[in-house]
Structure 1
Amino acid sequence: MKDVPEQYRQCGRQAMQWLDQLARHSEAPGMLTRTYLTPVHRAAAEQLTDWMLQAGMTVRRDHAGNVIGRYEAAAGSEDAPAIVTGSHFDSVRNAGKYDGNLGILLPLACIAEWNRQGRRFAFPLEVIGFSEEEGVRFKATLLGSRAIAGTFDQGVLGNVDSEGVSMREAMQAAGFDAGRIAEAAWPRSAVAAFVEVHIEQGPLLLNEDLPVGVVTAISGATRFMAEVRGLAGHAGTVPMHMRRDAAMAAAEIGLFIERRCSVKPGLVGTMGILEVANGAANVVPGNAAFSIDIRAEQDGDRLSAVSDVVAEIERIAARRQVEIALRKTHEASSVPCAPRLQDGLAQAIGAAGWPVRHLPSGAGHDAMAIAAIADVAMLFVRCGNGGISHHPDETMTEFDAAVAAQVFSSFVEHYQP
């Protein structure tokens, strides 16, 4: 195991301590659940504010609820575009403690160390705790980063949570004005670059025994919901060749998605929902519903797979004599990471003595939204337990946090505007 200088080990220790403390802000005892503008979400924002102030930053909030800490530049450079970093502090239900939160707290630990040294740069640094990325409470994603990018969809303000509270009402209760969200938008001229630190949420770095990697692109995604209408019948009396089985049609489609999306690295396809309404052991299913999620680093690969899947659905429906209604629910293009920023991260990794691994991100991130106003990059950090994420078994090590701190610090210290 390579040696990491003590100052970065201290940054790693500090980040891991903060991660443990922030995870205590949860809606559910014994697990981490922190959704947009709930009381615990607001408490987490106050905690981030305190830590940013302790690190020598000024702190502000916008009307989307983002927490923004600014570490000023050296005298004479205050008006220079900022290096911006950060990630989200909301969570999925029963989450892990590192997803999103690492990307706020690791850079913050590095800034605290620079502040201790009295070190400033030819540009300011801004750390954003994005208020919402996961979309759990109001079924709308990337709210915080879209507000800053100026792409916030005002139509989602009417979305309601499970208690019937609208997003607009939740904002008002938290002291924010939904009518002023547009004021949260940053001009492109304010951002020199956006660099997000994030756990990989996958097994590649773990399997290759590497603590960090450089993201090449955030994969684009296409999602559908589908409803299948066949004909219900008695499981004992309807001959196999006469069945119009909705569940088996869905199952065959799922197997095709699996085969089609296995032909090229970086292309993935998932049927995450498969439901049989009013199913019974002795009934041929007459109705089924399922989801499709297809992602790829290259948009051409994704769109080709989507086209083939849609065509196969039509063939399966005709052969099995079922009706399939397909509704697209999401479409996002791939977001490439800026080559110059990838090079900067790669040089920082090499300077720390590690091989440079480039890899795509199959998951979506706040960087996707910020790409509308700035060049973006991502530093992936290894996670353990087979790369599991969005789960309480999500984990990472203090050593890897220290390496990530070393790489991030080197990137900032050698950045050339």
Structure 2
Amino acid sequence: MPAVSLEKAQRIMRRIDTLAQYSAMDGMVTRAYLTAQHKAAHQQLAEWMQQAGLQTWQDEVGNQWGRLVSANPTQGTLIIGSHSDTVVNAGKYDGPLGVIMAIEALASLQGQALPFHVDVVAFADEEGTRFNTTLLGSSGVCGCWNPAWLDIVDADGISIGQALAEFGLEAAAIGQASRQAESLKGYLEVHIEQGPMLESLDLAVGVVTGIAGAKRYLIDIKGVAGHAGTVPLALRHDALCAAAEMISCTESFAQQQQIVATVGKCQIRGGAVNVIPGNVQFSLDIRSQDQAQLELCCQQLLEQYRTIAAARAVTINIENIYQASAVPCDAKLQAQWGEAVAAVTGKPAYYLSSGAGHDAMMMANITPMGMLFLRCEKGISHNPRENVQLDDVAVALACLIQMLHSASAW
């Protein structure tokens, strides 16, 4: 059983602090795809990979790789990783923790004979901060890159194709970033939980069973704008009151169905203090671990929206702007993560699902995928208050090393 090393965990924490300095904004962590901060962060990761004895390269999508080379690679390559990009004003652990922990784990295996290569990857764009299109880095690796994405532009009007060229990458060569399923042994990812379950149970780590499917919609409500003082309530077509009823309905529906649903944005268009709102748009994010349940709940909730719109004599337009299917983690890898957790902690592993999306969702298209969650303080993520405990990092590292020791028997 690998020892739980606080010294190695401290090095991981120091490196996370260092990587957080590669940011587009002073005093906060913001690192987006194909930016100067992205390039600098990957150069730093490459340096740490080389110090760990890894061969390094950057692929055609901008992902950073390091390889612990086997003298006798008779089996497929095992990939370990996470993402290096962040949301705006992010925490510093979401993504980078998994990359830096993987580098530290492979550093501990230097000099050991492995029957397969082990690759570490820092995926370049999981969050979609710059172009509002998520999982670009892992999409390239999985051969799922959509050429139409090259025309998507950022807030400054720069397209992904232009950004790739400015970064020193060739859009025409993106296909070379893809990996073939038959050449892979599996994909492992360590990630902060981004939720409160592990903390509530006083557990350092947990084994992930699957990643929730998600759908996102823009709901556009059109009523009739009118004078706030002269139109009686019974004769109004108030778009905001309709939206408010729909939003309240969303919360109660999610509670009844035991799913999660969130209205994250709501905008009154052309609003004023003395005007009845005539046009309101809000967003809906709805998720479930069960894909069939997700589909049914979306159908039922949106039908309730239409019923409310009809009752209030407003029009409704619903646009599906994003969807990702629920992805189960590989059963064998779940069991092996469970064995690793039990060996390190002396306690049975706790199993939990992920409500957030991860690059592991894409990797499941080409290889068995398994994830380990690490406790984070109060479940806070995508926030500067995001935090983890040193002891938990040491436990998670020991679990990952244990997985690598047992991998030759997979």
TM category (shorter chain) comes to: over 0.9
8 Å Cα contact 2:34-2:163 kept in structure 1: yes
1:105 is matched with: 100
TM-superposed deviation, 1:261:
1.1
**Distance in 1 (alpha carbons) for counterparts of 2:7 and 2:190:** 18
Choose which of 303, 312, 329 in structure 2 pairs with 1:311.
303
Query: SS of the residue aligned with 2:373?
Result: strand
In the alignment, does 2:49 pair up with 1:52?
yes
Report 1:40-189 matches (<5 A).
Answer: 40-73=37-70, 75-76=71-72, 78-115=73-110, 118-189=111-182
8 Å Cα contact 2:142-2:363 kept in structure 1: yes
Distance 1:120 1:239, change over 3 A: farther
8 Å Cα contact 2:261-2:287 kept in structure 1: yes
Query: SS of the residue aligned with 1:278?
Result: coil
**Distance in 1 (alpha carbons) for counterparts of 2:137 and 2:304:** 38
Q: What amino acid does structure 2 have at the position aligned with 1:399?
A: D
Q: After superposition, give the CA deviation of every residue in 1:217-246 in whole Å (9 maximum; x if it has no partner).
A: 100011111111001122222222222110
1:245 is matched with: 238
In the alignment, does 2:197 pair up with 1:204?
yes
Report 1:287-302 matches (<5 A).
Answer: 287-302=279-294
TM-superposed deviation, 1:264:
4.4
TM-superposed deviation, 1:79:
4.2
Q: After superposition, give the CA deviation of every residue in 1:278-297 in whole Å (9 maximum; x if it has no partner).
A: 22222211110011111000
**Distance in 1 (alpha carbons) for counterparts of 2:8 and 2:118:** 17
TM-superposed deviation, 1:260:
1.1
Report 1:184-263 matches (<5 A).
Answer: 184-263=177-256
8 Å Cα contact 1:247-1:287 kept in structure 2: yes
8 Å Cα contact 1:202-1:387 kept in structure 2: yes
Q: What amino acid does structure 2 have at the position aligned with 1:113?
A: S
Q: What amino acid does structure 1 have at the position aligned with 2:309?
A: A
Q: What amino acid does structure 1 have at the position aligned with 2:323?
A: E
TM-superposed deviation, 1:120:
3.1
**Distance in 1 (alpha carbons) for counterparts of 2:38 and 2:69:** 27
**Distance in 1 (alpha carbons) for counterparts of 2:16 and 2:113:** 25
Give structure 1 regions of 4+ aligned residues with deviation exceeding 6 angstroms: none
Q: What amino acid does structure 2 have at the position aligned with 1:100?
A: G
Q: What amino acid does structure 1 have at the position aligned with 2:272?
A: A
Where in structure 1 are there 5+ consecutive unaligned residues?
Answer: none
8 Å Cα contact 2:33-2:125 kept in structure 1: yes
Identity of aligned residues (%): 40
**Distance in 2 (alpha carbons) for counterparts of 1:269 and 1:174:** 37
TM-superposed deviation, 1:354:
3.1
1:5 is matched with: 3
Q: What amino acid does structure 1 have at the position aligned with 2:289?
A: E
8 Å Cα contact 1:94-1:390 kept in structure 2: yes
8 Å Cα contact 2:74-2:115 kept in structure 1: no
TM-superposed deviation, 1:310:
1.3
Query: SS of the residue aligned with 1:250?
Result: helix
TM-superposed deviation, 1:402:
0.2
Q: What amino acid does structure 2 have at the position aligned with 1:68?
A: W
**Distance in 1 (alpha carbons) for counterparts of 2:257 and 2:224:** 37
**Distance in 1 (alpha carbons) for counterparts of 2:114 and 2:6:** 22
8 Å Cα contact 1:11-1:113 kept in structure 2: no
Q: What amino acid does structure 1 have at the position aligned with 2:334?
A: Q
1:16 is matched with: 13
Q: What amino acid does structure 2 have at the position aligned with 1:390?
A: H
**Distance in 2 (alpha carbons) for counterparts of 1:372 and 1:301:** 21
Q: What amino acid does structure 2 have at the position aligned with 1:120?
A: A
Q: After superposition, give the CA deviation of every residue in 1:60-103 in whole Å (9 maximum; x if it has no partner).
A: 11110111110012x32x24212211011011100000001111
**Distance in 1 (alpha carbons) for counterparts of 2:226 and 2:349:** 58
In the alignment, does 2:270 pair up with 1:278?
yes
Q: After superposition, give the CA deviation of every residue in 1:347-377 in whole Å (9 maximum; x if it has no partner).
A: 1111121341111111100001111100111
1:326 is matched with: 318
2:333 is matched with: 341
**Distance in 2 (alpha carbons) for counterparts of 1:394 and 1:191:** 33
Query: SS of the residue aligned with 2:356?
Result: coil
TM-score w.r.t. the length of structure 1 is 0.95
Q: After superposition, give the CA deviation of every residue in 1:171-218 in whole Å (9 maximum; x if it has no partner).
A: 111110011101111000121110111000111111111110111110
Where in structure 2 are there 5+ consecutive unaligned residues?
Answer: none
Query: SS of the residue aligned with 1:262?
Result: helix
**Distance in 1 (alpha carbons) for counterparts of 2:266 and 2:113:** 54
TM-score w.r.t. the length of structure 2 is 0.97
Give the RMSD, CA atoms, in angstroms: 1.4
**Distance in 1 (alpha carbons) for counterparts of 2:74 and 2:23:** 38
Report 1:30-45 matches (<5 A).
Answer: 30-45=27-42
TM-superposed deviation, 1:29:
0.4
